[in-house]
Structure 1
Amino acid sequence: MICFVYRSPYHGVLGKHVRWLPDASVLDWFRRAWEEAAPDPDAWLRAELGADVYGLDTIFDEAASRSLPKPETMAELRKHLKRHLYVEGKVIVDEHSVRALTDDDEVPLAYFFLDEKLIAQRPHRLAYYLHDEWPLPAETTADGDDEPVTTIVMSQIGDVDWDTQGTVIRLKGVRLPGLGARLRTARKWPEELTLLRGCIGPDDDLAAALDRMNRWGAWDDQELDVTGMDGDHEAAHRVALDVMAQVEGHEIVPGPLGGRRPALGHAEVAEHLAQAVFHIDDEFGYLQMFLFDDVWAAAHPGLAKSLRRWFGGSWDPLK
């Protein structure tokens, strides 16, 4: 089998779509598609992949209209894709994968065809890419590192590119149960963490803080409005409570693209993993946030490392 992964905010709470395909290799899938997609590439791809993948139909349109020969090797497939696949970014082809970067003039998009050999060889790079369910597993069965560390990974709000679409922050010397207290004593963070810090109350209840963050209703155009939240924590928390009071009981609250619906957001907090998805817009989907410590990472090393890669700024998992 091979796996198809489409990184797209239009698809699901995790901002991606995953589909396993029965072909023995990536080349075999393209060879099959060369024939089966020819009558109507757009419709065939939607049925085959379960998603409308931006620009992918162009290679099969060109193959049919130009009578391009079916590729016999990955080298031949690479030549066809380089010449005839429409992408705004780039396409990379090797013996075990096809990886493409594009955008639809609204958001960056990427898609990947990955074979089982590659997946088996690179689990720590690909585990989160292949994971298609929320929430992530929270159980822990292993000890952590000698030095505690908590990692926070999250998507970001506003105009997005592949250098700023996510943030990865590692806090040494603290595990998740102590994160609230640690955040309250610090001040300089990206806006999303500045907001989380202000939402944490004196009880250090991370679940309550994520719920407040989910219902946030203060925005400056497409950016979070965290005015007054980067100083003393007591003052920052008062700002958070004031904003919460303004949207109390509202089904739709202000968002970066108009109205957002907190009821569609979700948060779960376990001892060593906290995770949340925040509804931003009916079209552009959700933002994601994961907070995990070394104990969870030891039990789920592939997910931990690939989470850092997914949110770390590079579109290509194999870069």
Structure 2
Amino acid sequence: MICFVYRSPFEGILGKHVRWLPDATVLDWFRRGWTEAGADPGAWVKAELGADVYGLDSIFEEAAERSLPSPGSMSELRKLLKKHLYVEGALTVDDHSVRVSTDDDEVPLAYFLLDQSLVAAEPSRLAYALHEQWPLPASAGDDDGEPVTTFAASTLGDVDWDTQGVVVRLRGVRLPGLPAWLRDAVPSGWPDELTLLRAAVGPHDTDLEPALDRINRWGAWNDQYLDIAGLDGAHDKAHRIVREVMAQVAGHEKVPGPLGRRRPADGRIAVADHLAQGAFHMDDTFGYQQMFVFDDVWAAHHHYLAKSLTRWFKGKWDLL
């Protein structure tokens, strides 16, 4: 089997779509497309992969129109894709994968076709990319390492592949102690999403669920960007601003968002002892913002998932 991964905000609450295919190799899948996709390449690709994958049908359109020979090796496939595949960004082809970054003039996109042997060899890079279900598993192990909490979130606004996400490691604290730690912390060089999380923590909160709920209902924006004016000061003042924003949208089914109106009811929040996760509805077309906060205890129990999740949100399009 091979695996297809499409990183796109249009694809569900995790911003990605995964499909397993019966072909033995990536080359076999393209060779099958050469035979089967000719009549309607767009419809064939969508039926095969379960998504409208931007630009991918172009190779099969060109193959049909130009009577291109079916590739006999990955080297031949590489030459054909470099010449005939419509790509706005970068293309990488090796013995076990095809990896593409592109965009649809509105958002960056990436897709990956991966042989099963490559998937098995690179779990620390690919485990999160291949994970299909919300929420992530919350089970944890022992707390015998150095306390550290990782904050990872997708970013909003006019983004490119260097700013698709943010990852911050907070040393000396685990998730059960994070609300108190955040109340005492002074933001310095933090991403806006983490500054908002700190301000959203209430004075008596003992876990992150209330704070994530407030972020889910956040209604203050500067165009496409979070409005965090005043949230990097003293915590009591920052949280007072959060309460004022919450009061303005209290009881509303739709609240202001970066692209119009957003629905908090469509958001998802799950908080456990060592993992807190949220997916916040931003727009019916442009999907969700994802946020994960986990500590070393969860990461030790889900080693590959933690490492690959961090890699996903660090902002480089090519997971390999």
| Superposition TM-score, scaled by structure 1 size | 0.98
> Aligned residue for 1:265?
267
The percent identity for this pair of structures is 70
| 1:72 shift after superposition | 0.5
SS at match of 2:88: coil
Mapped partners of 2:132, 2:144: distance in 1: 28
Partner-residue secondary structure (3-state), 1:9? coil
CA-to-aligned-CA distance 1:62-105 (integer Å, 9 cap, x gap): 00111111101000000000000000011100011000010000
Question: How big is the alpha-carbon RMSD for the aligned residues of Structure 1 and Structure 2?
Answer: 0.8
**2:26 partner letter:** V
Q: Does 1:229 align with 2:231?
A: yes
* Matched residue, 1:199: 200
Distance 1:154 1:264 in 2: 18
| CA–CA distance in structure 2, aligned partners of residues 56 and 8 of structure 1 | 14
Count of residue correspondences = 317
* Offset, 1:143: 2.1
2:220 paired residue number: 218
Instruction: Detail structure 1 runs of 4+ shifted over 6 Å in the superposition.
Output: none
Q: What amino acid maps onto 2:183 in structure 1?
A: R
Counterpart code for 2:130: L
Relative to structure 2, which stretch is displaced further, 194-203 or 94-103? 194-203
Q: What amino acid sits opposite 1:102 in the alignment?
A: T
Match of 2:108 in 1: 108
One-letter code aligned to 1:307: L
Does residue 170 of the first structure (1) align with residue 169 of the second (2)? yes
Does the 8 Å contact 2:151/2:194 carry over to 1? Answer: no
User: What's the counterpart of residue 2 of structure 1?
Assistant: 2
Measure the CA separation in 1 of the matches of 2:58 and 2:143: 48
The Cα of 1:146 is off from its aligned counterpart by 2.3
Paired letter, 2:115: D
Question: Is the Cα contact below 8 Å between 2:145 and 2:296 reproduced in 1?
Answer: no
| C-alpha contact 1:145 1:294 (8 A) present in aligned 2 | no
CA distance in 2, matches of 1:193, 1:127: 25
Report the more deviating stretch, 7-16 or 143-152: 143-152
Q: Which whole-Å CA distance do the structure 2 matches of 1:92 and 1:146 have between them?
A: 38
CA contact (8 A) 1:191 1:224 kept: yes
What secondary structure does 2:306 align onto? helix
Give the superposition deviation at 1:145.
Answer: 4.9
Do the aligned partners of 1:187 and 1:194 also contact (CA within 8 Å) in 2? no
- Report the CA distance between 1:28 and its aligned residue: 0.5
**1:121 counterpart = 2:121:** yes
TM-score by length of 2: 0.98
Matches within 5 A, 1:2-151: 2-140=2-140, 142-151=141-150
